[in-house]
Amino acid sequence: MNGPKVKICGITRLDDALAAAEAGADMLGFNFYERSPRYIAPPECARVVTSLRDRGLVTRTVGVFVNAPPEFVLSTLEMCALDLAQLHGDEPPAMLSLLDERAFKAIRPRTPAEARSAARRYTRDEAGSRALRQPALLLDAARAGQYGGTGATVDWSLARGLAATYPILLAGGLRLENVGEALRTVRPWGVDVASGVELAPGRKDHKKVAQFVAAVRNQPFDEASR
């Protein structure tokens, strides 16, 4: 589908996964970081994904990992039949290669210089060429000692600079009220939302999910203008 992609993250329940997929979300995120209020155990995630597939829903699925060993990431991707891994901790660039490029990196830069440096580090393959992953990066808000899920908004001017060069997922503090402005300002490859469409951590508001997806779809989008 043309236009920005939508990732609904922090899925913990089958009914929320179904609501997001039926609303037209392009990607669903499952968080395997045990300290997160949106944590889901791999066997439960496997049941949710199997149920989605059995219903003919083929939304891309993403596992969110924080400083997990590559063996655990690979085994979880296989167990849950997930498409991609989102590395949301302090993982080194080499881990992307260890995961056979089935992964992309979340970064939380505080300055444009940090953003450019992190982007270069995490979007190069072993030969030094720019990797062609889509998304190449997820951009989240920087909060000391926290690995996302804060509800804090990213510096959109910083994000705009990255989005002009890389296919990024924009995260951090997005909700129905500001996603249109975020898209017009940043022009990202896609947007990622968790707390902005929730009743409580890990429990989605199905009406907000549908409204958020519709708000993204209703934004004018011209690939040539990016």
- Supply the residues annotated as catalytic: 9, 140
CA distance linking residue 66 with residue 87, whole number of Å: 6
The count of C-alpha atoms lying within 13 angstroms of the C-alpha of 51, restricted to the half-sphere facing its C-beta, is 14
CA distance linking residue 122 with residue 130, whole number of Å: 9
Write down the residue that tokens 């999910």 correspond to. Answer: 209
